[in-house]
Structure 1
Amino acid sequence: MAKGVAIHWFRKGLRIHDNPALLEAISACYNENLELCPVFVLDPWIIKKLRVGPNRWRFLQQTLCDLDANLRKIGTRLYVLRGTPEETFKDKFQEWNVKVITFETDIEPYARERDERVIKIAETAGARVVQKVSHTLYDPEHIVQKNMGKPPLTYQKLLSLVDNIGPPEKPVNSPSKLSERITLNSVKIDDHNHCVPTLIELGVNEKLLKPTIFPGGESAALDRLNLKMKNKEWVRKFEKPNTSPNSLEPSTTVLSPYLKFGCLSARTFYYKLKEVIGTSPHTKPPVSLLGQLLWREFYYVVAAETPNFDKMVGNPICCQVPWNKNEEHLAAWAEGRTGYPFIDAIMIQLRTEGWIHHLSRHAVACFLTRGDLWISWEDGQKVFEELLLDADWALNAGNWMWLSASAFFHQFFRVYSPVAFGKKTDKLGEYIKKYVPVLRKYPPEYIYEPWKAPLSVQKQAGCVIGEDYPKRIVIHEDVYKINISKMSEAYKRWKGAKSKQEDKISNTVKNKKMKIT
């Protein structure tokens, strides 16, 4: 039989810095005379069923290549296994004589179910399982325990809880060069069948993709972090609401895709920010960069403890709104042909580049839901899930509930204008000209509202509304007022239903007490 093996299973956490589960596997190798096998499982179910667009597949593929290269620098490599984790590990635990498997904890429902099945398979095979929290700053379960077993439903409540807990644990060191005796030698592995997948294997035609703007991988993540942290004054004065959603170059860090895949450790980012801030004057949460990390933490904690967090029905914190189903309007929004240039430019940037500014997400999410189209936030969530490089289950659902005023944020009467909002930071419409080039010859006074341009101006610009660029699919000035009224009614019904439910629970408790007495 082959020498015993310790597997480190990469899922998220696609990095070697601040990776406590990887270090645990390496430690087991030295202490128990095992060989190290870092693996990534390419599940065919994900390729076929999950909403992953080509930009994100490319980002993942680049990330895996970079991870393999970084592992080789310390004396090992990445072994990519094909098949479902359950089937794959059931075979490999026996074939490789696996003694230990380590991995990073995950709060997503699919991941939790999958991990439970893998743990049972490992236990049956006699393999020890080690899980470590490292995708978030804190252990979500610990925060919930500190809140009397309930998730904090406001950002301020989360801040008070983490203030009491204290700063997150510091990042662990990256592994140093490995001894040759713990590299995988006794197990025969076909290099071709265990190498990083190509884009072709992932079903992506690279020729149809635009050039990479944000390359995947830990190396790119750390380079980007260091670049952004060099501008200490910018870091200290950063305020999210004062950044531009439609600047031609990103006005934020664009570290979110790297945090999503775990190419960058949240704890590394946190302590780098603390180092840069030092004792100097700086902005505070929720608008600061530290505040942005804590927003991420907030959504992860609530998502971990809320049933059906990514759905409206069966979600206890979500307002039940009778949204419309309109496939034509949904497609027009998703494809950037609503007739509102600012909205269309954002959706075209998202589709081509895989990233848009957070405030741009606000604008298009409000437009799809309570602002203009009255389409469910679940439908918008699915489009973002496909197109965003940083499509994160907890953050995506949480932000969509927030922007649709279904949870967390309840000032539904505050609606983003699809015209005025973009003008604040880009009066000349340079952003629109870049992503909706058919409008590039429009004068600034019409580029946000091309339907107002006289026909002569439209013809001179080479773009006639209704022929070369679509007419507005709704009239914002009319529909947003109607939608505010509908949202008000939905709130009344929801609060009434909650009140009845609370009365029912209260009466049940009273009856039980009377019986006991």
Structure 2
Amino acid sequence: MGKHRAIHWFRKGLRLHDNPALLKACEQASELYPIFVLDPWFASSPQCHVGCNRWRFLLQALQDLDQSLQSLNLRLFVIRGQPEVEIEKLCQQWSITKLTYEADTEPYAVQRDAKVEARMEALGVEVIKCVSHTLFDVNLTVKNNGGCAPLTYQKFQSVLSKMGTPAKALLSPTLTDLEGCKTPVSSSHDQYYGVPTLEELGKSSSDCGPLLFPGGETEALDRMERHLKKINWICNFEKPKTSPNSLSPSTTVLSPYLKFGCLSPRLFYHRLQQVYSGKKHSQPPVSLHGQLLWREFFYTVGAVTPNFDRMKGNPVCRQIPWGSKPEHLEAWTEARTGYPFIDAVMTQLRLEGWIHHLARHAVACFLTRGDLWVSWEQGMKVFEELLLDADWSLNAGNWMWLSASAFFHQYFRVYSPVAFGKKTDPNGDYLRKYLPVLKKFPAKYIFEPWLAPSSVQQAAGCIVGKDYPRPIVDHDRARQENIKKMAAAYAAAKSSNEGSPVKTSGGGKKKLSTELDKQPNKKLKK
């Protein structure tokens, strides 16, 4: 018989495989209570940007987790309330002696966990937290870089090369691991601790799009294995060569499962390595290993950079005087820019909760430095609401990159809202799918319907300016004006010596502008 009554607190790591904190909870446990704390603030607060599709994904992941736990004679307890308050109550109610959870690096989570740990210390409850949401302990990566986050991908790779390969993924707990352990469950468990419905959260399933990517560990593992069977595809994968506007995804779409921790990044890394072994294959940054390292890169920088999700007070972000154009932001968000490729991407995002990496590049560039000159912070909030894989560090980092505010400085490289989409979809099939109002336009005009003669528009049953909007800006003119604005902003940043030395959590100093400006002239492909 074990000695501990333990709670394992699920947060992001919504899985049984490669969950070291869960395994720690199982050790010498006489009673084990797996919990997920659903803070009502996230469902009701207007400051919380979570769309219906992502709520549905989360609830499906919780249902799948509960079913997997039942195979171990356990149940998931979904708790409603503030984590620090509810966990303290449960520890007292259940006479808990050990609390385990997966480490988190986001500012909200760090503050929340500090409150929980303080209350646990007062109760005499042992707290164990383990790193498993990232390939490495990001704080150790920072330490190995002299106490500062590496601000270029090349520098990041150099630091990781000295750290070896990521730890192997751990197996899921078994009934043997839980021998002598039980989870007391009452007959009213589902009533008080069951996974809620969307309606209970004040959401409507009718607001969700088609269910293309079900949530949960079961689907995550199945999806990973399906892709790993395509050995040649895995070995030859290069992200920039995939299509942003194919009718079915040209990439793995494992990002939502990694975001919620339904899939361990360490497991995916090592399963890829098994496929690569003994074969010629692509390399980072464009390979699938490279994609996991991009994720790790932004997690590492985000963990130690103050105000990483905003411009002001963010030491890695250039201060650019973005304009305030609510009507342009609204048109972009609602797929009414008048540029069919941009509008089709934004329509897919709202309907399905996922868009291709390069499609994200195109619409982010269009909103910021390319055409509309709207702050990247505004676009980040829209993505935060609509993406299934909205991830705090990656979302902020990629928006800074695409707006040329940080990490990437070739602001004169601008995606064309016409030519970029046409290159991989010359017939406009993607546009016809997501913008059916344009489906009868001939391929010659579908990317630029405003150029079509009135007779063509009438034959297509779509009059530009009436049935579909005219372009809200002239791309060529806006691009030229915005490049001048960016040049001025860069010059102002240089003269004001932006990026003065700052202290990091490791106690070191780093002149941030120096590393930003050392990036190679050639475009680094993600």
Aligned to 1:160: 158
Counterpart CA distance in 2 for 1:271 and 1:86 is 35
Match runs of 1:365-376 below 5 Å = 365-376=364-375
Aligned in 2, Cα 1:199/1:323: closer, same or farther, shift over 3 Å?
A: same
Once the two structures are superposed, residues 179-213 of structure 1 have per-residue CA deviations (whole angstroms, 9 ceiling, x without a partner) of 46311228897431101111111222112323300
Aligned to 2:27: 27
Aligned to 1:151: 149
Shift of 1:48: 1.9
- Does residue 203 of the first structure (1) align with residue 202 of the second (2)? yes
- Does residue 407 of the first structure (1) align with residue 406 of the second (2)? yes
Give the match's secondary structure for 1:91. helix
Once the two structures are superposed, residues 300-358 of structure 1 have per-residue CA deviations (whole angstroms, 9 ceiling, x without a partner) of 00000100000000000101000011111101101101000000000000000000000
On the 8 A contact 1:96/1:187 being kept in 2, the answer is: no
Aligned to 2:6: 6
Counterpart CA distance in 1 for 2:370 and 2:403 is 8
Counterpart CA distance in 2 for 1:170 and 1:500 is 38
Give the match's secondary structure for 1:428. coil
Match runs of 1:1-150 below 5 Å = 5-29=5-29, 34-49=30-45, 50-150=48-148
On the 8 A contact 1:21/1:130 being kept in 2, the answer is: yes
On the 8 A contact 1:58/1:199 being kept in 2, the answer is: yes
On the 8 A contact 1:52/1:387 being kept in 2, the answer is: yes
Aligned residues: 497
Match runs of 1:10-409 below 5 Å = 10-29=10-29, 34-49=30-45, 50-177=48-175, 179=178, 181-185=180-184, 190-409=189-408
Once the two structures are superposed, residues 372-428 of structure 1 have per-residue CA deviations (whole angstroms, 9 ceiling, x without a partner) of 000000000000000000000000000000000000000000000000000110000
Instruction: Give, as a single letter, the amino acid of the residue that structure 2 aligns with 1:14.
Output: L
On the 8 A contact 1:59/1:389 being kept in 2, the answer is: yes
Aligned in 2, Cα 1:95/1:499: closer, same or farther, shift over 3 Å?
A: closer
Shift of 1:5: 2.0
On the 8 A contact 2:9/2:100 being kept in 1, the answer is: yes
Aligned to 1:442: 441
The answer for unaligned runs of 5 or more in structure 2 is: 503-526
On the 8 A contact 1:137/1:267 being kept in 2, the answer is: yes
On the 8 A contact 1:284/1:290 being kept in 2, the answer is: yes
Instruction: Normalising by structure 1, report the TM-score.
Output: 0.94
Once the two structures are superposed, residues 429-488 of structure 1 have per-residue CA deviations (whole angstroms, 9 ceiling, x without a partner) of 000000000000000010000000001100110000000001110000101100000000
Aligned in 2, Cα 1:501/1:399: closer, same or farther, shift over 3 Å?
A: closer
Give the match's secondary structure for 2:33. strand
Instruction: Give, as a single letter, the amino acid of the residue that structure 1 aligns with 2:10.
Output: F
Shift of 1:370: 0.1
Counterpart CA distance in 2 for 1:266 and 1:439 is 40
Counterpart CA distance in 1 for 2:499 and 2:459 is 62
On the 8 A contact 2:4/2:28 being kept in 1, the answer is: no
Aligned in 2, Cα 1:89/1:187: closer, same or farther, shift over 3 Å?
A: farther
Counterpart CA distance in 2 for 1:499 and 1:321 is 11
Once the two structures are superposed, residues 242-277 of structure 1 have per-residue CA deviations (whole angstroms, 9 ceiling, x without a partner) of 000000010000000000000000000000000011
Give the match's secondary structure for 1:40. strand
Greater fraction helix: 1
Instruction: Normalising by structure 2, report the TM-score.
Output: 0.93
Identical aligned residues as a percent: 58
Counterpart CA distance in 2 for 1:405 and 1:500 is 15
On the 8 A contact 2:316/2:406 being kept in 1, the answer is: yes
Give the match's secondary structure for 2:50. coil
Counterpart CA distance in 1 for 2:352 and 2:295 is 22
Shift of 1:214: 0.4
Aligned in 2, Cα 1:440/1:187: closer, same or farther, shift over 3 Å?
A: closer
Give the match's secondary structure for 1:87. helix
Counterpart CA distance in 2 for 1:356 and 1:200 is 26
Give the match's secondary structure for 1:102. strand
On the 8 A contact 1:75/1:180 being kept in 2, the answer is: no
Counterpart CA distance in 1 for 2:285 and 2:195 is 39
Counterpart CA distance in 2 for 1:321 and 1:425 is 32
Counterpart CA distance in 2 for 1:64 and 1:248 is 29
Instruction: Give, as a single letter, the amino acid of the residue that structure 2 aligns with 1:330.
Output: L
Shift of 1:500: 9.3
Shift of 1:4: 5.4
